[in-house]
Amino acid sequence: MAFLAEDFVRKVEVSDAEIRSAYDANKSRLPQVKGAPVPFDSVKGRIAEEIRLIKARNLAAGEAKKAHDAIYQEENFEAYAAKHGLRIQERGFFSSKDTPAEIKQIRDAETQIFSIRVGEITPVLSSPRAHYVIKVTAKKEPATPPFEEVKKDVEERWAAVESLKLCRKEAEAALERLRKGEDFRKVAKEKGAEVVDTGLFAPGSEIPKAGSSP
């Protein structure tokens, strides 16, 4: 059961005072134009959208919490969804090693899903743009599959791990150059890395356009 921030965007308003306050608070982090922060009018619209999204996400969190508490008390997951027009997305069996991508992006989802019993629901879980309440409907006892059945998956996972090691090595080398004073964009260009602006974001482990931060 998902509560997407985008579904609540139209329900929130952002005042000029809020936009100005956010601009002033983040002025030092904004791009420079001729040695001065980018003009307020140039970024006003983008700041408004980012504040609106943060507010919408908070509204979604409130609705998710309300749903969780009601379902926990009444044990009526399906009935609650039907009553409030919420769509339930079903997933087949999966293990901690082949968790669907859409679940991996939800913080702590794997830990919570595999720690509760059949019929129980998770606490409210969050991704960068949504909140979720998940119900476990069935479980299978673990079993070791035949080698040929998992060979391709093992090879792909090994390649992914090795690629991650190489990426980390390259990132650490780039960081060392930056610490020595080299230009950020120059180093990024040489490494073939894209430089993007994350924009404003709420405190937490998820960084927009970058992913999770330990």
pLDDT in tens, 82-104: 999 998 999 888 888 788 888 98
Output 111 or 199, whichever has higher pLDDT: 111
In a domain, 104, yes or no: no
In a domain, 17, yes or no: no
- Please report, rounded to a whole number, the percentage of residues in the chain having pLDDT higher than 70: 93
In a domain, 107, yes or no: no
- CB-based burial, 150-179: b 16+ in 10 Å, e otherwise: eeeeeeeeeeeeeeeeeeeeeeeebeebee
CA 90, chain centre distance (Å): 20
Tell me which amino acid residue 117 is. Answer: R
Q: Report which of 91, 105, 100 is spatially closest to residue 138, judged by C-alpha positions.
A: 91
66 pLDDT higher than 80: yes
| Residue 213 CB contacts under 8 Å (≥ 6 apart), including other chains | 205, 206, 207
- The pTM score is 0.61
Number of domains in the chain: 1
Q: Contact 178/171 with Cβ under 8 angstroms? A: no
Tell me how far apart the alpha carbons of residues 54 and 69 are, in angstroms, rounded to a whole number.
23
Question: Which residue is listed with tokens 């669907």?
Answer: 100
In a domain, 102, yes or no: no
Q: Report which of 128, 91, 87 is spatially closest to residue 113, judged by C-alpha positions.
A: 91
Domain span at 165: 146-214
Tell me how far apart the alpha carbons of residues 110 and 165 are, in angstroms, rounded to a whole number.
23
In a domain, 62, yes or no: no
pLDDT digits (tens, 9 = 90+) for 172-204: 998 999 999 988 888 888 888 888 777 776 666
In a domain, 61, yes or no: no
Cα separations in angstroms, 46 against 28, 49, 121: 16, 5, 37
Mean of the pLDDT values across residues 56-75? 95
Tell me how far apart the alpha carbons of residues 62 and 131 are, in angstroms, rounded to a whole number.
9
Tell me how far apart the alpha carbons of residues 59 and 29 are, in angstroms, rounded to a whole number.
27
Query: Is residue 33 within a helix (H) or strand (E), and if so which, with residue range?
Result: strand 32-33
Using pLDDT thresholds of 50, 70 and 90, give the confidence band for residue 76.
very high
In a domain, 15, yes or no: no
In a domain, 174, yes or no: yes
Using pLDDT thresholds of 50, 70 and 90, give the confidence band for residue 106.
very high
